[in-house]
Structure 1
Amino acid sequence: MRTPLGGNNLTAQQYESYPSADDTWTVSFNNSAGTSGTYEVYAVCLPATQAP
């Protein structure tokens, strides 16, 4: 998760991050500072491999 940098007190605490469907990732967070801002969340998916 990326938050904007600068002169604000934007604070984000992530409390959930999980696959919620075959093609969806869910992230939940709390902004305890109460300051508005924009959040960008990225998930990088890799193919699963089986052990030999």
Structure 2
Amino acid sequence: MMLRHPQKVSAFVGPNTVGPWLKFDPTAVRLCDQRLELVLERLRAFLHET
């Protein structure tokens, strides 16, 4: 599959670019997981009501 690329790319920041500066933080992962569970719970309740 061929992708079209723009003539000029001003900047691109991807995971390989910022990867070396990221630090694994278990607390942040836990908080993110809790927030995701809350969002999924609310979505399930919303879908159950409709």
TM-score bracket, normalised by the shorter chain, equals: under 0.3
Higher strand share: 1
State the structure with bigger RCO (CA 8 A, min sep 6), 1 or 2: 1
Rg larger in 1 or in 2?
2
The normalised TM-score by structure 2 is 0.21
Higher helix share: 2
